[in-house]
Chain A
Amino acid sequence: MSVIRCDRVCVDIEAACILRNVSLSIDQGEFVAILGANGSGKTTLMRAILGLMPVTSGQVDLFDTPLSRFRDWGRIAYVPQRLHSAGAVPVSVHEVVGASLISPRRRLPRRGDRSVVLDALALVGLEDRRNDRFDALSGGQQRRVMIAAALAKDADVYVLDEPTAGVDAESQEHIAETFAQQRDSGRTVLLVTHELGTFSSLATRIVVLGRRGSESSTVLYDGTPPVPEHLTESVWHHSEDVVMRGDDGGLLERGSGS
């Protein structure tokens, strides 16, 4: 059974074509890393898969159900880079993790919630920080709390957005270890990153997004690691470039030829 399937997915943002004809099928138990330079549309693809961004054409299926009819959200957990509301109203670590248990099917708290939250925090090694304010933690610890929130859902698939960007080395290893365990217990992991880093030994499959010449971004490589020699350029050559103009959202031509 495929957990995530994209069939010729195209995504446009403001009339600019971000992704063209992305086809991808991810099975249960796979550990897939989507790689690509900034602007290659990897975050866009992730958001399209999660239904956070409309697909212009093509189809996304989750657990063999078209995205528009998919309701079984308890099976998918998403870890963003940072919380949207960070720094507004104080929230405790416990509340951030507990929030992931809330859904239209579970409007009221349940008896076992507290132990679920504590168990999830224990998995990322932060159970002693449960009563602290979320914004009092370091960037790496905050990421681990968000991962604990995802783990508390006990989902089948984890979708991770740059899980190690801006995270200290100790937390990076902790995060990689956590998802190694999840993979070993049969969970599916889809991570979007521009650098594999500590995950390089975990990924069973990598998908490289990028442009051929001046065309829109699409799948350049889909297979086992490592990234083929001729593509390393289009994934990693950009470092300085991206620091200079990070927020172009992929609208600029980067001419990443191969």
Chain B
Amino acid sequence: MMRFDNIIIGMALSLILCGVTIGAERFPPPDFVETDHVIPSPTVPGPRQDIYEYIDAVVLLAALGLSSYLVLRRRSRRAIFVLMVFSLLYFGFWRKGCVCSVGAVQNIVLSIFDRDYTVPITVAVFFLLPLVFALFFGRVFCAAVCPLGAIQDLVLLRPISVPNWLESGLRLFAYVYLAAAVLFAATGSAFVICRYDPFVAFFRLSGNLNILIIGACLLVISVFIGRPYCRFICPYGVLLRQLSRLSKWRVTITPDECIQCRLCEDSCPFGAIKKPTTDWPTTEYSRSKKRLAILILLLPVLMFLCGWASSGLKTVTSRMHATVRLAERIYLEDTGKVEGTTDASLAFRATGKEQKELYADASNIRAEFKLGGWFFGGFVGLVIGLKLIAVSVWRKRTDYEAGRAGCLACGRCFQYCPKEHERLKKIKEARAKY
């Protein structure tokens, strides 16, 4: 038996003598003389064919169209529910949660900021279609197409209502999340929406354990609080909310005229039904006027403060980018502030690149975060300010109606309206005649 150490030493010696670089062909591939052995080639199983990606886009279009029809014309919770289950099975469990509209936000943002980054057509379709549909028909995507919404809606068994102030306050998180996702995507640091997608691990039945636990917690919460991810976290929901405010057609609780019977009042598990208001209380008027004036003046101050704060956090936020992390590590190692090396620092040193280059890259990225921080903070400040202004403005409403922004078009309220029953009865009678 040969001593192995000798072999290693021998080989190392021969390496040094020949002066070959690591990973090069140290041993020439053999010519087989005694046997006619054929050198095999590695297998290359292909990815999913493009045609299936297009099928996904077509299914999305069909599901959105059907959802709009079911919500606005058919007005049937049962049919919406069936479509929702289909979407959960198809986009969730079959397609394993990727590609999804929520995550597509980041691809679009990165494609705007990175000239070399290109977007596959499916991703562009997944981003744009639900927004266009929201502009025409409201949040029909949330109703029955989004698998993330569907999985929460299925477990909603004991809904309890969330007070308005808490709902509005928690929703702020979604705006911050959107802004953060845009910041990190624009700088090419990370796709945080995908990284912290709480339900994708369920669709795949495997994944990061921490995320799986967060997802399980959210699902438990969903039993009592309707669709917490959609209402308080979903960054794409923020876009849909705003576009759905302007939508041409939207969910109406009653098919014709509200008779103020109050039967639908508690039917919405998402707190999206707006109740009729009384007239503007005249005693409050002057006080509200002053408050509104102060808030409007405060708005730019708030934006500036938030922008300044988050821009100042650039050293922390920029650590989301791998290059900045690497540069910091290399700097610490070179100045002897830390012992040892990491895989990343070793890999960097193996490339033989100059430290200067790396530091320059890192400081460029940090500068991007400084500028991005202003936009991030400015946006968050704007949202906080507008939220405060919104609560101090009196809105006049005479009927019970589905909130333009908050309504997820799930169709639960239809059955509560006596006018709806009248309509269904008429349809039944008309059918019986034929």
A and B co-occur in one complex: no
Chain B contact residues, CB within 8 Å of chain A: none
